[in-house]
């Protein structure tokens, strides 16, 4: 993988960076050492840097491709850190196809970019750091307001700055230990000056670890609707997602598998899951459905309970009583009717209320698993550093802690992680 990347970064790459045609305009980006020459071949004269110029584009044999707006950004101060050209074409399918086929025919080793390759180059050339790239990946897939804001903060480097603060603290602590060692080979127990900055750093990292995990925000909170057959689960599901996604019927056992749909409430992401009715059954397929319903229940962050007898567990439970238009609701349950709409607004409000407790708050820097795991290791090293009175050992724990933080922002062993990350990008980004 590493070899491929090294040779790949000397290629000149191109891709359609805007959405699928047809559209009003289509943007093709070309990045790499030959980008300027390619632009010259297409337009005759290389346009003035960083100014939009309207040019006739021609293919290798001089035939007209399109009348397009062209932009020329000489590297390294560009989005990819390389020479970069942009063609803003008329967004018809035939125009885009013609230009995309004319480009490799020009020679210059031009090849189609892989998904995320422009951003990968930005990372390799130091134009972006890893946390910012992760934020960008989240931003491209953000569907709700809360996801957009968090991704933007991250793309903007909020998490990177936090990691930078911690690294600086560790460096300062390491320097102080060095000074103590140099000054006097023996350090008296209890008189050391690094215990309190180490504790302060620990507390700061604990605070970051206490923020609800980023995955919840990225993937949405899972809300499982659980209850016996025919209780009105699918009807409630449809009422909440606002369309006929689940099959409603009065034949018990209709929903045999879990159906899920994303749902945005108060700008927060949820995934609503309709499950098979919980009952004993001889039908082997329905039984699988019931088993899955139990699994979904275990996976859920929130449960909407139609059974009325679900004991409070780890997950918040909203107890609801359906069909309130035709029967008296159960006591202590939220009365709901899909026919009159009664109770739906309250259910929304309750979900929003629970969501705001389970999701990272606006402005908080949320961590995903990779960051949490490393930071737990950092915490363990800090604890070990505090537990020893030997300055050499303490210095070693601080050094390992710093290495753990460094591993989050780059360095060895990161290639696989990069491949997984760039797999989330679309072509042309
Ligand atoms: P599920 O098996 O729990 O998914 O139940 P369904 O959503 O398929 O509903 C079973 C039956 O109850 C269907 O005939 C629905 O039309 C009916 N039903 C569901 N919700 C309501 C409601 O709020 N009021 C009334 N009157 N009927 C409902």
Q: Which domains does the chain have, with CATH numbers?
A: 3-127 (3.30.1360.120), 132-211+366-409 (1.20.120.430), 217-358 (3.40.50.300)
Q: Using CA atoms, how far apart are residues 72 and 42, in angstroms rounded to an integer?
A: 12
Taken in order 176, 177, 181, 182, the sign of the CA dihedral is negative
Q: Is the CB of 323 under 6 A from ligand 1?
A: yes
Out of 134-148, 201-215, 310-324, the most confident range is: 201-215
Q: Residue range 255-273: average pLDDT?
A: 83
Q: pLDDT at position 415, please?
A: 65
Residue 417: CB atoms within 10 A of its CB come to 14
Q: What percent of the chain has pLDDT over 70?
A: 88
Token pair of 246 as six digits: 């689940």
| Atom of ligand 1 minimally distant from the CA of 230 | 2
- Spatial separation of the C-alpha atoms in residues 19 and 300, rounded to whole Å: 34
Residue-level pLDDT at 229? 85
**Closest residue to atom 14 of ligand 1, CA basis:** 250
- The pair of three-digit structure tokens given for residue 38, joined into one six-digit string: 């390619």
Q: Which atom of ligand 1 is nearest to the CA of 227?
A: 3
Distance, in Å, from the CA atom of 259 to the CA atom of 334, rounded to the nearest integer, reads 23
The highest-confidence range among 83-92, 167-176, 403-412, by mean pLDDT, is 83-92
pTM for this structure? 0.71
Q: Give residue 383's pLDDT.
A: 96
Question: Is any atom of ligand 1 closer than 6 Å to the C-beta of 232?
Answer: yes
Nearest CA to ligand 1 atom 18: 232
> Percent of the chain at pLDDT above 90?
48
414 CB burial (10 A radius; 0-12, 13-18, 19+)? middle
Q: Which of 231, 244, 246, 248 to mutate to test the pocket of ligand 1 (most atoms within 8 A of CB)?
A: 248
Q: Whose CA is nearest to atom 6 of ligand 1?
A: 232
Rounded-to-10 torsion of CA 345, 348, 354, 357? -100
- Mean pLDDT across 272-288: 75
Query: CA 150, CA 142: separation in Å to the nearest integer?
Result: 9
Predicted local confidence at residue 246, as pLDDT: 61
The number of residues making up the chain comes to: 429
Atom in ligand 1 nearest the alpha carbon of residue 229: 2
DSSP 303: E
What is the C-alpha to C-alpha distance for residues 330 and 293, in angstroms, rounded to an integer? 23
Q: Which residues lie below 8 Å from residue 128, measured CB to CB, with a gap of 6+?
A: 119, 122, 136
Q: How far is the CA of 293 from the centre of ligand 1 (A)?
A: 18
- Using CB atoms within 10 A of its CB, is residue 3 exposed (0-12), middle (13-18) or buried (19+)? exposed
Mean pLDDT for all residues in the chain: 85
The DSSP symbol for 307 reads: S
Q: Is 338 in the pocket of ligand 1 (CB under 6 A)?
A: yes
Does 332 sit in the ligand 1 pocket, CB within 6 Å?
A: no
End-to-end CA, the chain: 20
Residue 258, pLDDT score: 67
Mean per-residue pLDDT, 197-213? 95
């Amino acid at each position: 993988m590493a070899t491929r990347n090294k040779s790949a970064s000397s290629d000149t790459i191109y891709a359609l960076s805007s959405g699928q045609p047809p559209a009003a305009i289509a943007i093709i980006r070309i990045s790499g050492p030959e980008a300027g020459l390619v632009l010259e071949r297409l337009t005759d004269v290389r346009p003035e840097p960083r100014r939009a110029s309207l040019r006739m584009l021609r293919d290798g044999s001089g035939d007209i491709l399109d009348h397009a707006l062209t932009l020329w950004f000489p590297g390294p101060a560009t989005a990819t850190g390389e020479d970069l050209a942009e063609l803003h074409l008329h967004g018809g399918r035939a125009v885009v196809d013609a230009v995309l086929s004319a480009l490799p025919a020009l020679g210059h080793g031009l090849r189609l970019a892989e998904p995320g390759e422009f951003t990968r180059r930005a990372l390799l050339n130091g134009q972006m750091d890893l946390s910012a790239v992760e934020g960008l990946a989240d931003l491209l897939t953000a569907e709700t307001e809360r996801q957009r804001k968090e991704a933007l903060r991250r793309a903007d480097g909020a998490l990177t700055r936090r990691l930078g603060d911690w690294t600086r603290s560790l460096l300062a602590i390491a320097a102080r230990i060095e000074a103590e060692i140099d000054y006097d080979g023996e350090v008296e127990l209890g008189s050391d000056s690094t215990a309190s900055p180490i504790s302060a750093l620990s507390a700061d990292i604990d605070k970051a670890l206490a923020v609800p995990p980023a995955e919840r925000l990225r993937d949405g909170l899972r809300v499982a609707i659980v209850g016996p057959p025919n209780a009105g689960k699918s009807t409630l599901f449809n009422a909440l997602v606002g369309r006929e996604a689940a099959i409603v019927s009065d034949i018990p056992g209709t929903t045999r598998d879990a159906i899920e749909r994303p749902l945005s409430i108060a700008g927060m992401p949820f995934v609503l899951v309709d499950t098979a009715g919980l009952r004993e059954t001889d039908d082997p397929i329905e039984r699988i459905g019931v088993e899955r319903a139990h699994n979904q229940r275990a996976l859920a962050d929130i449960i909407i309970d139609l059974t009325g007898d679900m004991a409070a567990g780890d997950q918040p439970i909203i107890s609801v009583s359906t069909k309130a238009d035709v029967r008296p609701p159960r006591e202590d349950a939220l009365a709901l009717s899909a026919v009159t709409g009664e109770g739906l607004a309250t259910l929304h409000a309750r979900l929003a209320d629970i969501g705001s407790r389970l999701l990272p708050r606006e402005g908080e820097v949320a961590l995903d698993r990779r960051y949490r795991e490393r930071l737990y290791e950092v915490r363990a090293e800090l604890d070990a550093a505090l537990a020893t009175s030997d300055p050499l050992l303490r210095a070693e724990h601080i050094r390992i802690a710093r290495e753990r933080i460094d591993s989050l922002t780059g360095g060895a062993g990161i290639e696989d992680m990069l491949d997984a990350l760039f797999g989330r990008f679309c072509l042309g980004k």
